Amino acid sequence: MNMNGLKGLVATAVIAVLGFSNVQAQEKVNIKDSQVKWEGEKLTGSHDGTIDMKEGFFLMDGKELVGGEFVVDMTTINVTDLEGDNKAKLEGHLNSDDFFGVDKYKTSKFVINTVAKKGNTYGVSGTLTIKGKSNPIAFDLDMKDGKATTTVKIDRTKYDIKYGSGSFFDNLGDKTIYDEFTLMVNLNY
């Protein structure tokens, strides 16, 4: 085979490979312009606050979501509905081993495993790791114009956070803390 024939064969092979391969790109989350809010409820009321993302990205195939990975900095737990000593006391308790044990578990992580597109919404399932415990979760994620939003409920007891849980302790009365907490996530990428 002459050189021109070899070049043509190589060019055809390159075009064939490129034509059948998926080109995936990471869309990094803009940490400064993103926000994660939380709300936890108890029998006598609720508390809310924020927590900061440490890093994260969406894995895209063209304009379609196909995966992603997100890390939350657990040392940034912030209570926004209290002030002064009460705020400091609750933040300290949430950071303790009764709840998130942030001295040992400084981050939590979510990895997208599968995605199903439904218009501008994606059904997302993945693995959430909190306090070294990993469990599957699924939720709808709205994505449009560089913004991704979701609200998801997390059962804290699946991550060995049982303090004040009526599912594990009797006679808590009005000190009962509900097992689920809610995350309201607004990410810019």
What is the pTM (predicted TM-score) of this model? 0.85
Q: How confident is the model at residue 169 (pLDDT cuts 50, 70, 90)?
A: confident
At residue 36, the 3 state secondary structure works out as strand
Pull the structure tokens for residue 142.
Answer: 């709205």
* 96 or 1, greater pLDDT: 96
Pull the structure tokens for residue 133.
Answer: 């415990």
- Per-residue model confidence (pLDDT) at position 168: 87
For residues 115 and 65, is the Cβ–Cβ distance under 8 A?
yes
Integer-rounded Cα Rg, in Å, for the chain is: 22
- Per-residue model confidence (pLDDT) at position 136: 98
- Per-residue model confidence (pLDDT) at position 96: 98
At residue 85, the 3 state secondary structure works out as helix
Q: How far is CA 95 from CA 52, 89, 152, 153, 189, in A?
A: 14, 10, 21, 20, 29
CA-to-CA distance for 145 and 162, rounded, in angstroms? 39
Chain segment 46-88, per-residue pLDDT in tens: 999 999 999 999 999 999 999 999 999 999 999 999 999 999 9
Domain boundaries, the chain: 24-188
Q: Which of the following CATH numbers is that of domain 24-188: 2.80.10.50, 2.60.40.60, 1.10.10.970, 2.40.128.110?
A: 2.40.128.110
91 Cβ contact partners less than 8 Å away, ≥ 6 residues apart = 77, 78, 79
Chain segment 7-47, per-residue pLDDT in tens: 544 444 444 444 444 568 999 999 999 999 999 999 899 99
- pLDDT(182) > 90: yes
